[in-house]
Amino acid sequence: MLLGHNRKKMLGAECMADMLRDYGVTHVFHVPAVLRTTFAEMERRTDIKRLHVHGEKAAAYMADGYARASGKPGICMAQVIGALNLAAGLRDAWLAHAPVIAMTGGREPKTKFRKVYQEIDDMPAFEPVTKFNATVDDVARFPDMVRQAFRTAVTGCPGPVHLQFRGNEGQIDAEETDMEPLIEPQFAKVPAFRPEPDAASVRAALKILQDANRPAIVAGGGVRASGAGAELVALAEALQIPVATSLNGKDCIPGNHPLAVGVVGTYSRESANRVVNAADLVCFIGTETGGMTTHFWAAPKIGTPAIQIDIEPQALGRNYPLLAAVNGDAKVTLARMRNGADRNGAAKRKNWIAEVQTICGSWRDKYQPALTSDAVPIRPERLCRELTRHMPDDAVVVVDTGHAGMWMGGMFDLTSPRQSYMRSAGHLGWAFPAGLGAKCACPERPVVTFTGDAGFWYHIAEVETAARWNINAVTVVNNNGGGNQSKRGFDRVYGGKQTDKARELWTFSKIDFARIAGDMGAIGIRVEQASAFPAALAQALAADRPVVIDVVTEIEALAPTAVV
Ligand SMILES: Cc1ncc(C[n+]2csc(CCOP(=O)(O)OP(=O)(O)O)c2C)c(N)n1
Ligand SMILES: [Mg+2]
């Protein structure tokens, strides 16, 4: 079909509604009022659910969770006064490379600089958190700009996009002109393309990998975005290579796989850091090799022989000088390497694999007492172990940052390749709304979110949204009555021992979140004994309602810091 052959007179709103429907959008997360005419047309022309939520940041996080769970762009919207709140919410999607499309109202050329109510120039605020940040000033541009937004969000290394529509509420959508609401199905989902690697570069990388005596793989979010977990595991098995993951790539290999050594870096597991630091070659796949994944380039140390595979050429060698670099899609590249692999060479790594298993075993032994502790208040390690043991095998696990990221990154294991794991890229409070967005994207899968109490407070109002829209996610709150990741830092600045008054810097009132959730229309379950958690989780998963499980945990428990 040639572009422009089926143009007809239509409203911008009609065009937008048709295009979102045809791209397969099922949910839009917004705070009114923006693109009002579009919302009315969505009701007339589509089945898209229009979720009116309690804050623009939560709308962005829901869209982000939706995007990371499905690979489809998540859509969030705000009028001009809410635009910066929405931009703040794109920051995590930017860091995590999630395809989120943000739409906001913007300025009228006729009135800008005249002190219009609520108006500033919002465009610069979107610049650092988007791949593409553009204004739509003429209604005739709706089709090509919406296509550009989808195309940019899902291609290459995915990421957020912002479109600002003319009018503080984007009233340009009520204007009419000749348009064709054509969409490109290829750009409805990540990955849009699977770029083939250059064959010679694959051969060179494979030779180096096969020749290594003590290699380790570090797999990141690029492997998850490419859906390359099975190919990763197949290559690791064929060549007998241990696999560490970044926090963003945790679901690339189940934690109970014999070659899985855990999450490497800062929010990590000791065994992963030790294995990566004992390796004579590190193969990075789909990871930015950033500070978090490498514990500020201490695991592995810069200078460790390395090879790297990435879809983004600029990532290759950014932090570690490389013996070989491969530019291509992770799934295609790993399959190529697996097909070319010489399995016979794997036997020479028998001693290395035995050493790796000893390292993993000693981690298990060291943490066994905490993982099985019956202490009251509950130890977070025990909570993680119960989640490992009772997580449904097709669950989407959504995890906040801070101690939540450390506890779950280090102590929790995925036990099935069908489970997904998504984590905050650093923003406290991301997980609860992101979990709701993930449940919107995958209503048939159980969604279990893990957050601290400080993280949960941020967007607690969205319990009402979950109840109103029947978003039946399960949220587990590790409730210790404070932001206790901050404890260590305050101990330090107080010279080792805080004053009693210092605790006002990081503790809250003791709150029963189960009661609040119940009052807001969800189901609330309070757990005070570790042994009661499995039944609470089973009840929550079986409930046809959103559930908050409030777990009363030990405020003095500190997650282990990274070992190098
Ligand atoms: C937006 C944002 N602000 C501040 C922080 C710094 N921060 C990291 S963890 C944390 C406290 C976390 O408390 P909680 O969620 O209760 O988890 P806990 O450490 O108590 O287990 C804070 C304030 C952050 N990561 N993100
Ligand atoms: Mg806390």
CA end-to-end span of the chain: 58
Rg (CA), the chain: 24
- Closest ligand 1 atom to the C-alpha of 479? 16
pLDDT tens digit at each of 564 positions of the chain? 455 578 999 999 999 999 999 999 999 999 999 999 999 999 999 999 999 999 999 999 999 999 999 999 999 999 999 999 999 999 999 999 999 999 999 999 999 999 999 999 999 999 999 999 999 999 999 999 999 999 999 998 999 999 999 999 999 999 999 999 999 999 999 999 999 999 999 999 999 999 999 999 999 999 999 999 999 999 999 999 999 999 999 999 999 999 999 999 999 999 999 999 999 999 999 999 999 999 999 999 999 999 999 999 999 999 999 999 999 999 999 999 999 999 998 999 999 999 999 999 999 999 999 999 999 999 999 999 999 999 999 999 999 999 999 999 999 999 999 999 999 999 999 999 999 999 999 999 999 999 999 999 999 999 999 999 999 999 999 999 999 988 999 999 999 999 999 999 999 999 999 999 999 999 999 999 999 999 999 999 999 999 999 999 999 999 999 999
Residue 480 Cα: closest atom of ligand 1: 20
- Probe ligand 1: pick from 485, 506, 513, max atoms within 8 Å of CB? 485
Task: Measure 246 CA to ligand 1 centroid, in angstroms.
Answer: 20
pTM: 0.97
| Residue with CA at minimum distance from ligand 1 atom 12 | 483
Residues in contact with 465: Cβ distance below 8 Å, sequence separation at least 6, in sequence order: 51, 52, 53, 54, 58, 436, 471
Top mutation candidate among 92, 94, 399, 403 for ligand 1, by most atoms within 8 Å of CB:
403
Whole-angstrom distance, CA of residue 302 vs CA of residue 312 = 21
Report which bound ligand comes closest to the CA of 427: 1
Distance 477 CA to ligand 2 centre (A): 9
551 CA → ligand 2 middle, Å: 11
* Nearest protein Cα to ligand 1, atom 13: 483
User: How far from 206 is each of 229, 301, 306, CA to CA, in Å?
Assistant: 18, 22, 12
Ligand 1 atom 8: residue of nearest CA: 402
If you take atom 7 of ligand 1, which residue's CA is the nearest one? 402
- The stretches of 372-402 forming alpha helices (DSSP H) are 380-390
SS3 state of residue 512: coil
Query: Using an 8 Å Cβ cutoff, are 459 and 452 in contact?
Result: no
Going from the Cα of 100 to the center of ligand 2, the distance in angstroms, rounded, reads 29
Whose alpha carbon is nearest atom 3 of ligand 1?
428
Four-residue CA torsion sign, 112, 115, 118, 124? positive
Q: Which residue has a Cα nearest atom 23 of ligand 1?
A: 483
Q: Are 398 and 65 in contact (CB under 8 A)?
A: yes
User: What's the gap in Å between 482 CA and the centre of ligand 2?
Assistant: 4
Q: Is 507 exposed, middle or buried (0-12, 13-18, 19+ CB in 10 A)?
A: middle
d(CA 28, CA 263): 33
> Ligand 1 center to residue 425 CA distance, Å?
12
CA nearest to 101, candidates 84, 86, 119, 85: 86
Among 328, 323, 413, CA closest to 367: 413
Ligand 1 centroid to 384 CA: how many Å?
18
Instruction: Looking at the CA of 379, name the nearest ligand.
Output: 1
CA of 453 to the centre of ligand 2 (A): 4
Q: What is the whole-number distance in angstroms between the Cα of residue 54 and the centre of ligand 2? A: 23
Q: Residues enclosing ligand 1, CB less than 6 A?
A: 401-404, 426-428, 452-455, 478, 480, 482-486
**Closest C-alpha to ligand 1, atom 11:** 483
The closest of 82, 81, 24, 13 to 53, measured between CA atoms, is 82
> What spacing in Å lies between the alpha carbon of 400 and ligand 1's midpoint?
9
User: Pairing between strand 281-285 and 306-310?
Assistant: parallel
Among 428, 451, 510, name the best residue to mutate to test ligand 1's pocket (greatest count of ligand atoms within 8 A of Cβ): 428
For residue 553, the ligand 1 atom closest to its alpha carbon is 21
The number of the ligand nearest the C-alpha atom of 89 reads: 1
Closest ligand (CA of 486) = 1
Locus of tokens 């404070």: 482
